[in-house]
Structure 1
């Protein structure tokens, strides 16, 4: 029997018959994950606050603001209506703009960072995981950040929210493991995406301290969206069938490990 390979680490039809939700899938890392899942045979629904990017052809797209309770409920309802349920969930939506320092971050921006980078995952998991639990199968991947251990003050609202996400992900993995559901985290480093480039430009304008040079990660280059998608698809696949509660750093060796 011949196996057709689409991309490194992904074989044709590997996810045939599965239904996947990917948040923040209109560009960058999310779009790469959507494309790779589609190539491997999955049905995919993706979402963003607006269709400003190029949603991969073949994916179902729903505009939704996952920062809000209403947005999470509307997205979960769309998943049930369009896909009939979900087997794979990738929480990729996230981000926050940098500030001069931690004390310059307003209450509103703290709340927004927590809602987008942490509570969106909590709410969607609470709405979608019970169906996975009934079927006693599934996989969830939370996308965090390799920058969490550095706790850089200009991004403290972002890294604090992602640190909470990592702790939550580990705890959820313990609760869902007896039902055959695996929960893992991927922590990307510096990746060439539109959002990442915009954030680095904003930080450079602030003159906010270290981290603004052109030094490459130890592996000699910035990451590409497919580098992160490789790790996400591995964790979703049966190849990671005995892996849960983990956090995989995909950063070219750039950041220290906690």
Structure 2
């Protein structure tokens, strides 16, 4: 009998493991697959994930990067670490691009400020000029929020690229705004850098919680696993997928200090 497992892979942020465990518990109760596991890393994905991955026992593993959008780590280093997983590894897209995330962002915003014409909603992403994934993700949700909510304006800003977080206050045209971090869990960025650069002590901007353990994020994980399962029905679709190519072409090298023959 073929067994399937979901593996949630994330950063060891301040409440990262707590958030991941909440999604693991929910997925286990839903009996989506035979097993649901979690693996976290701090600075060196290949070195830190290797032992965790080697303990996973399943014929098919759906590895889900638990972040808003791809980074250098999820496009390069995490795929290298995936070579230590047994069986058929199906690498999924980050959960941040799911339509369900739009609902969570709206919910986080309205917890602090009503969605009306006198309030602006600000999405705060990580962002990098060399990796446009976060910009595309933030723009996607911003457009959906403009269509689906009554906020006077929906703006985007980023830690590492323009429009920068420290400048967004001057682009808000309403007297009141709420900023929602497009991050899964709390981190140094969400708890220190973003509040400082938004100058929250000046007032006028409410600051919401990250996506966290919201049930719709669990739904996003499940939907992505089901998408990858459907793509893998035919060998042609699986071999052609971007995620599969990343997994196959990012094997650890001997020069990494973690390479081994498979």
Which of 1 and 2 has greater Rg?
2
* TM-score class normalised by the smaller sequence: 0.3 to 0.5
Q: Which has the higher contact order (CA 8 A, sep 6+)?
A: 2
Taking structure 2 as the reference length, what is the TM-score of the superposition?
0.42
